[in-house]
Amino acid sequence: MIIMKINDLKYYVKDRLLIEVDNLSIQNNDRIGLVGRNGSGKTTLLELLAGTREADVGSIVTETSGELLPQLKNTNTTKSGGEVTKEYINKSLAKKNGLLLADEPTTNLDTEHMEKLEKQLSRWQGAIVIVSHDRSFLDALCTTIWAIENDGKVKEYKGNYKDYTAQKELEVIQRQNAYEKYQQKKGQLENALELKEQKAQRATKKPKKISSSEARITGAKPYFAKKQKKLQKTAKAIETRLENLEKVEKIKEIPAIKMDLPNIETFTGQIILRIEELKASVKDRILWNPSSFQVRGGDKIAIIGRNGVGKTTLLKKIVASEPGVTSSTAMKIGYFSQNLDVLDTEQSILENVVLTSKQDETLIRTVLARLHFYRDDVYKKVDVLSGGERVKVAFAKLFVSDINTLILDEPTNFLDIDAVEALEGLLQNYEGTVLLVSHDRQFIQNTADRILIIENEEIKIYEGNYDNYKNHIPKDEADSKEQELLLIETKITEILGRLSLEPSEALDQEFQALLKRKREMGRS
Tell me the per-residue pLDDT of 243-268, one tens digit each, with 9 for 90 and over.
Answer: 888 888 887 776 777 888 888 888 88
**% the chain with pLDDT above 70:** 92
Distances (CA, A) of 95 to 81, 83, 99: 22, 19, 10
E-assigned strands of 143-230? 144-148, 154-158
pLDDT in tens, 386-411: 888 999 999 999 999 999 999 999 99
* Close Cβ partners of 196 (under 8 Å, ≥ 6 residues apart): 231, 232, 234, 235, 238
pLDDT at residue 339, as a whole number: 72
User: What is d(CA 393, CA 63) in angstroms, rounded to the nearest whole number?
Assistant: 45
DSSP letter (8 states) at residue 333: E
3-state SS, residue 378: helix
Distance CA 118, CA 120 (A): 6
DSSP 204: T
CB 414 within 8 A of CB 389: no
Residue 145 class from Cβ within 10 Å (0-12 exposed, 13-18 middle, 19+ buried)?
Answer: buried
* Contact (CB, 8 A) for 407 and 334: yes
CA 363 vs. chain centroid, Å, equals: 23
Q: Which of 68, 116, 127, 65 is nearest to 92 (CA)?
A: 68
Start-to-end C-alpha separation, the chain: 36
Q: pTM of the full predicted structure?
A: 0.79
10-residue mean pLDDT series, the chain (524 residues): 95 94 95 93 95 95 90 72 84 85 91 92 92 95 96 96 94 89 89 83 61 54 68 84 85 76 87 95 93 96 95 95 94 87 92 92 92 92 90 93 95 90 93 96 96 95 93 65 79 80 81 82 64
Note the pLDDT of residue 523: 58
The CA radius of gyration of the chain, in Å to the nearest whole number, is 32
Phi, psi (deg, nearest 5) at residue 15: -100, 0
Report CA-CA distances (Å) from 33 to 342, 368, 509: 35, 28, 43
160 within 8 A of 143, measured Cβ to Cβ: yes
Which whole-number Å values give the CA distances from 311 to 168, 279, 318, 395, in the listed order? Answer: 36, 12, 11, 20
In this structure, how many other beta carbons lie within 10 angstroms of the beta carbon of residue 359?
Answer: 19
Residue 461: strand, helix, or coil: strand
Strands (E), 81-218: 99-103, 127-131, 144-148, 154-158
pLDDT in the model for residue 207: 56
